Amino acid sequence: MQICEATVKRIEQLCKARRMSLYALAYKTGIPSSTLKCIVNGRSKNPGIVNIKKIAEGFDLTIREFYDDEMFDRLEQED
């Protein structure tokens, strides 16, 4: 799994755990819902650290907490 895929899975995992829709996350983070959809649908291959920070904060997490999941320990080497 590559980091982009793992990031999407983590967003989906956190939305499900918190029973939060993408629209609710977009509202809470101030990120346009279209941008969030592009990230989750895989059209955005590099969501950027600023957006990741906003997403983490939308879940009331730090960036460190957002990436604190074992799936990020098993990432493939990217070209």
- Residue given tokens 């956190």 in the structure block: 14
Q: What kind of architecture, by CATH, is found in domain 3-74?
A: Orthogonal Bundle (1.10)
Q: Tens digits of per-residue pLDDT, 18-74?
A: 999 999 999 999 999 999 999 999 888 889 999 999 999 999 999 999 999 999 988
CA-nearest of 39, 41, 42 to 50 is 39
- Which amino acid is located at 3 in the chain? I
pLDDT at 79: 66
User: By the 8 A CB rule, do 63 and 53 touch?
Assistant: yes
Residue ranges per structural domain of the chain: 3-74
pTM for this prediction: 0.90
